[in-house]
């Protein structure tokens, strides 16, 4: 990420935080742009490029979600509510075409010995991403603000593997996440290293429809471990394939967005982006 991209990145991060903090005042485009020290035209262009939706639509999303939260108070399960809305509107459950293949216990134990892992860095609207894959599927996808740190994090998952820089078909398919027609790109295979418990949590995450949110408690109940909220939170946070295994769709029971490994502003942007797609008919540009 060059200096100008980093500057824009920080501006959009601050803008997203400002919108979440001041949505009750319904700030105009000019007000938000002024806070960022930018012209409305330039701010609109940069924000849409980075967040994937216009500032106005982002603000509408935040307002709508808070209204919906007030209306759904008392629901026993947000997971059930999410399932009810399933494939409504223009959105589709794109995770339907993802196949999860967990490593064997032996492969898990030996730290990837004998595995050949290819990796590559790619620019995206929300920052640089590191992807990695074996011959069986995508095994890692995460934002890489610091390339060396991101690569070290990846290699720690497979300390005994052989490494080669370069992209392949699995990585190219994973990058379709940011494209409007990603559902038509074919099957994306995931090759995951995790415990049985982690794999159950990650599979539950794959069931959350695009544009919907659930809580950590909902996930715990879904996998039959209603008292394991804390362990579920840890498993969600250790998800090695971000975006496609949508840990950004899990929030706290209080309705707060909660933490995210690559920054809460990215989580907010991803949620708003997906909500704007699935609720396109009810939100004006």
Point out the residues that are catalytic.
247
Burial of 191 (0-12, 13-18, 19+ CB in 10 A): buried
Cα–Cα distance, 4 to 180 (Å, whole number): 26
Residues near 26 by Cβ (< 8 Å), separated by ≥ 6?
A: 59, 63
Per-residue exposure over 149-166, b if at least 16 CB sit within 10 Å of its own CB, e if not = ebbebbbebbeebeeeee
Residue 140 falls in which region: left (phi positive, over 0), alpha (psi -120 to 50) or beta: beta
- 118 beta partners: 133, 164
- Helix and strand numbers (H, E) in the chain are 12, 8
Cα–Cα distance, 259 to 99 (Å, whole number): 27
Torsion angle of C-alpha atoms 180, 258, 61, 29, degrees rounded to 10: -100
Joined tokens for residue 215 = 């809580």
Cα four-point dihedral sign 51, 52, 53, 58:
negative
Contact call for residues 47 and 55 (beta carbons, < 8 A): yes
């Amino acid at each position: 990420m060059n200096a100008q991209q980093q500057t824009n990145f920080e501006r959009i991060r601050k803008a997203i935080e400002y919108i979440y903090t001041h949505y009750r005042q319904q700030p105009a485009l000019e007000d938000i742009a002024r806070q960022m020290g930018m012209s409305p035209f330039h701010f609109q262009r940069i924000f849409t490029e980075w967040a994937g939706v216009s500032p106005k639509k982002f603000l509408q999303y935040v307002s709508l979600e808070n209204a919906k939260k007030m209306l759904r108070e008392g629901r026993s399960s947000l997971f059930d509510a999410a399932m009810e809305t399933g494939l409504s509107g223009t959105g589709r459950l794109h995770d339907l075409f993802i196949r999860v293949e967990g490593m064997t216990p032996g492969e898990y134990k030996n730290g990837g010995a004998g595995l050949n892992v290819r990796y590559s860095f790619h620019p995206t609207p929300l920052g640089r991403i590191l992807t990695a894959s074996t011959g069986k599927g995508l095994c890692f996808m995460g934002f890489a603000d610091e390339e060396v740190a991101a690569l070290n994090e990846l290699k720690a998952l497979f300390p005994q593997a052989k490494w080669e820089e370069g992209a392949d078909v699995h990585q190219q398919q994973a990058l379709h996440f940011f494209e409007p027609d990603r559902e038509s790109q074919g099957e994306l295979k995931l090759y995951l290293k995790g415990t049985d418990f982690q794999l159950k949590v990650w599979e539950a995450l794959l069931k959350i429809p695009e544009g919907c949110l659930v809580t950590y408690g909902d996930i715990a109940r879904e996998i039959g471990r209603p008292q394991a909220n804390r362990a579920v939170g840890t498993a969600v946070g250790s998800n090695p394939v971000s975006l496609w295994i949508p840990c950004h769709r899990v929030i706290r029971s209080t309705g707060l967005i909660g933490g995210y490994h690559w920054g809460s502003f990215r989580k907010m942007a991803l949620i708003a982006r997906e909500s704007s797609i699935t609720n396109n008919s009810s939100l004006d540009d």
